[in-house]
Amino acid sequence: MKKQIYIYDTTLRDGTQGEGVSLSVDDKVKIAKKLDSLGVHYIEGGWPGSNPKDMEFFHRVKQLDLKQAKVAAFGSTRRAGIKAEDDANLQMILESGVEVVAIFGKSWDFHVTHALGTTLEENLNMIYDSIRFLKENGLEVFYDAEHFFDGYKKNPEYALNTIRKASEAGADCLVLCDTNGGSLPHEVTQIVNHVKSELTTPVGIHVHNDGGLAVANSLAAVEAGAVQVQGTINGLGERCGNADLISILPNLQLKLGYQVVSEEQIRQLTNVSRYVFEIANIVPPNSQPFVGVSAFAHKGGMHVSAILKAGETYEHIRPEVVGNTRRVLVSELSGQSNLLFKAQEMNLNLDKSSPEGKAIIQKIKELEHQGYQYEGAEASFELLLRKGLGEYEEVFTVESVKILMEKMRNEESLTEATVKLRVQDNIVHTVAEGNGPVNALDNALRKALEQFFPAIRDMYLSDYKVRVLSEHEATASKVRVLIESTDGKDSWSTVGVSSNVIEASWEALLDSMNYVLLRKYEKVELDDIDDPNQDRQGILNH
């Protein structure tokens, strides 16, 4: 039987100490439900005695029907010189109504004398009294031994005495903390081994990432005998962050063979990671292990050729196991294997020996030499591929575009775009204003097309990026524009390149419109749209 490792998530408390991270009570409740779906065993909700928001969370979370996770509170040992029963923070923990609590205490003698300003003996009493009090009130108690590894290195006997006191008081788990995040894996292994040889109480690990080793140190602690791992989703936390559970969980279960969560739960990993990033309003790093959009992205033609034969040639696990997907990128480094893979994704018939395939590859290389980039503009690439295979027919053509920008003294500027389109035998001439040329073009194009294609109303631009490609040419430099669009459900990206930023934006905008028409109306015959006044129910059904 596989050894069970328990995950203690502290995203809602320690994670919120990260710079720029702020979660409302509603945010915390939503994340708690996601964490439960992932199968974490403990969710630390906050410190009841520190602020009203955390106490409200504990009251709200009781209304959730959590399937597995237990909600834990966080707190500190009693203050020096008073009884545990009289400590306001400990009383607030009881008032929160939780069944589990993690309380921290000092393990480093330097902190006891300089930070707490008390004696080493009183610190031991504070640890013992606090845990005893909480255990007498029926709580499951985890003792977070703050600065344990630094304390052990400076004064191993005193550090061990602090967790001995916690064990004697009945702590259910002794969580060894690398609070400053500076320990190395071999140090963690050695110290955890020593603790295990001295005490029989289960051991946990809580480390920070200041040395870039939080995941490695967590795994080292488990290999040395720790049974609980504390961390945060995506490694959120103060300074350089906490140990990233998104990397720890699959490494423990898929690589080291421990039992952590079910196979169905671990498939939620990518979804949970991105959900927390979204709630925290943080852009996910593409290269994040296991769950990043680039984690299973392949660019080189030889790599793609190999993974088409066997995924394990260039993938350490199957992406589906953690809820991610394989992506094949198309660039000047691409070979025919990349095109074959992308064609298969789009259900297009492409023979690798066909002249069309060779022509498309050559076309891509020429365009990328001009500054186009299709790795982040897969909608533009699909249009390019379909055109190269003769499987795309434009449903509208642009006759002319005109932009007028007027700036009056002491007044806001006014931008007006005029667009003339041909849709079958219909000539559509529209004018629209906007906040700048791109917005005006978008409004005019949308106004012209909506009468024929109602789905246009559901899409909107969600992101707009401009990159200068030849800085030495100053204002005459060529630019690349990337536009991301969405209909609220799906997102797609398009690209345009020109020495004129408006022309590049227009190109990317046209691709975005053409792509949504391709997806929404690809089964509609062009003859069905030649009269804007006809009954368009057939089009809407598609």
Cβ-contact 170, 136 below 8 angstroms: no
Together in a domain, 126 and 226: yes
Decide which of 201, 236, 261 is a domain's last residue: 261
Together in a domain, 44 and 192: yes
pLDDT above 90 (res 21): yes
Together in a domain, 377 and 521: no
What pLDDT does residue 461 have?
85
Query: Does some domain include residue 118?
Result: yes
> DSSP for 8-21?
EE-TTTTGGGSTT-
Query: Does some domain include residue 277?
Result: no
Together in a domain, 348 and 212: no
Q: What CATH code is carried by the domain that includes residue 181?
A: 3.20.20.70
* Measured distance CA(57)–CA(316) in Å, rounded: 39
Q: Which of 202-206, 340-344, 419-423, 514-518 has the highest mean predicted lDDT (pLDDT)?
A: 202-206
Contacts of residue 12, Cβ cutoff 8 Å, sequence gap at least 6: 23, 28, 31, 32, 43, 44, 45, 46, 57
Confidence of residue 37 (pLDDT cuts 50, 70, 90): very high
- Number of structural domains (the chain) is 3
What pLDDT does residue 300 have?
65
Together in a domain, 366 and 413: no
What pLDDT does residue 343 have?
73
Q: Which domain holds residue 364?
A: 297-388
Q: What CATH code is carried by the domain that includes residue 404?
A: 3.30.160.270
Predicted TM-score of the model (pTM) = 0.73
Span 126-145, pLDDT tens digits: 999 999 999 999 999 999 99
Together in a domain, 122 and 236: yes
* Measured distance CA(143)–CA(104) in Å, rounded: 6
Span 375-430, pLDDT tens digits: 668 888 889 888 888 888 888 999 999 999 887 777 778 899 999 999 888 899 99
Decide which of 243, 261, 279 is a domain's last residue: 261
Q: At what angle do helices 301-309 and 336-345 cross, to 10 degrees?
A: 50
User: Mean per-residue pLDDT for 533-538?
Assistant: 37
Decide which of 388, 422, 445 is a domain's last residue: 388
Cβ-contact 469, 497 below 8 angstroms: yes
Measured CA angle at 393 (ends 391, 399), to 5 deg: 150
Query: Does some domain include residue 269?
Result: no
Together in a domain, 320 and 428: no
Together in a domain, 430 and 493: yes
Query: Does some domain include residue 404?
Result: yes
